[in-house]
């Protein structure tokens, strides 16, 4: 393997790794709103998006982003929630903090 090929392989690997880490930014916030609305939550406010190392914030291995949310539950109480989601095909998972 020549030096040019080795450098090319390394650059492709770096570009793929970098682009895969950005998929958390591509998870649309409206997916979070829809998932919570379907479960009866209202007055949804997204407080924070964790897209770097989402597994450190409770996300699964297929999750690309974890959102910290405050919303009113179906009983009428405000709760803090973590919603994890993947891009492009994984749905949202709702967890009460």
The Cα–Cα gap between 18 and 72 comes to 37
Q: Residue 37's domain spans which residues?
A: 3-96
Prediction pTM value? 0.78
Sign of the four-CA dihedral 75, 78, 80, 83: positive
The residue behind tokens 């919303």 is: 71
Q: Which residue has the higher pLDDT, 5 or 66?
A: 66
**Mean pLDDT for all residues in the chain:** 86
- Using an 8 Å Cβ cutoff, are 71 and 78 in contact? yes
Q: What is the pLDDT of residue 97?
A: 83
The Cα–Cα gap between 4 and 6 comes to 5
Residue 92: pLDDT above 80? yes
Q: What is the pLDDT of residues 6-33, one digit of tens each?
A: 777 777 666 555 555 567 778 999 999 9
Q: How many domains does the chain have?
A: 1
């Amino acid at each position: 393997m020549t030096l040019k090929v080795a450098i090319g392989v390394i650059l492709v690997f770096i570009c793929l790794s970098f682009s895969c880490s950005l998929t958390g930014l591509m998870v649309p916030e409206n997916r979070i709103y829809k998932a919570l609305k379907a479960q009866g939550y209202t007055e949804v406010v997204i407080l924070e998006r964790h897209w770097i190392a989402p597994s450190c914030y409770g996300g699964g291995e297929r999750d690309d982003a974890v959102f910290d949310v405050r919303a009113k539950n179906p009983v009428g109480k405000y709760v803090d929630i973590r919603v994890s989601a993947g891009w492009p095909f994984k749905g949202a998972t709702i967890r009460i903090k």
